[in-house]
Amino acid sequence: MSNYTYMTISSKSPIFNKICDYCDKEIVQENLTINGGTLNYSGIIYDSDILIICFDKTLPVAFNSIVELDTCIYIYQIAVKNNYKRQGIGTELMQRAISIAKTKKKAITAHVRDYNEASNHLFQKLAFNAVEPGSNTLYVLETKKYKPGKK
């Protein structure tokens, strides 16, 4: 069983900026280049509405930052610290985001760069549809139809 804990934090929380500082410095910085491409996402975490954080004891090791739009829940940035990858944390962070979208009766969307193999696989595994495939693919999941574990 995993020892990790997860917490959902609103941008209105008094600890939001402090958590953003830590995630930006310790997690985003490790993920600025992927397969030779650049994920130039430092700093955007501060503009999200909701953060889902994975903690190893007291330290954040991964986050999913979400923007709530009128039409959908948009995954702004998701990142896992290198030493914690491939343990199911990214999947758990996305399943929690999908639950939020379901509660709000909204679709959930994300953009993923073509060179970002891990992220493309993650969204495909979670049965997102690539509605605008290309160099920056738009993935959409209509949560009404989402059934965990099924494509």
- Interacting residues with ligand COA (CB under 6 A): 31, 34, 39, 77-80, 85-91, 112, 116-119, 121-122, 125
Kindly tell me which of 12 and 22 has the beta carbon lying closer to ligand COA: 22
Kindly tell me which of 125 and 144 has the beta carbon lying closer to ligand COA: 125
Q: How far is the CB of 14 from ligand COA (least distance, A)?
A: 26
Nearest residue to ligand COA, using CB?
A: 90
Q: How far is the CB of 41 from ligand COA (least distance, A)?
A: 6
Q: How far is the CB of 72 from ligand COA (least distance, A)?
A: 16
Going from the C-alpha of 98 to that of each of 86, 101, 151, the distances in angstroms are 20, 5, 14
Q: How far is the CB of 102 from ligand COA (least distance, A)?
A: 19
Task: For the chain, give the secondary structure using H, E and C.
Answer: CCCEEEEEEECCCCCHHHHHHHHHHHHHHHHCEECCEECCCCCHHHHCCEEEEEEECCEEEEEEEEEECCCEEEEEEEEECHHHCCCCHHHHHHHHHHHHHHHCCCEEEEEEECCCHHHHHHHHHCCCEEEECCCEEEEEECHHHCCCCCC
Q: How far is the CB of 12 from ligand COA (least distance, A)?
A: 23
* Alpha carbons 58 and 134: distance in angstroms, whole number: 39
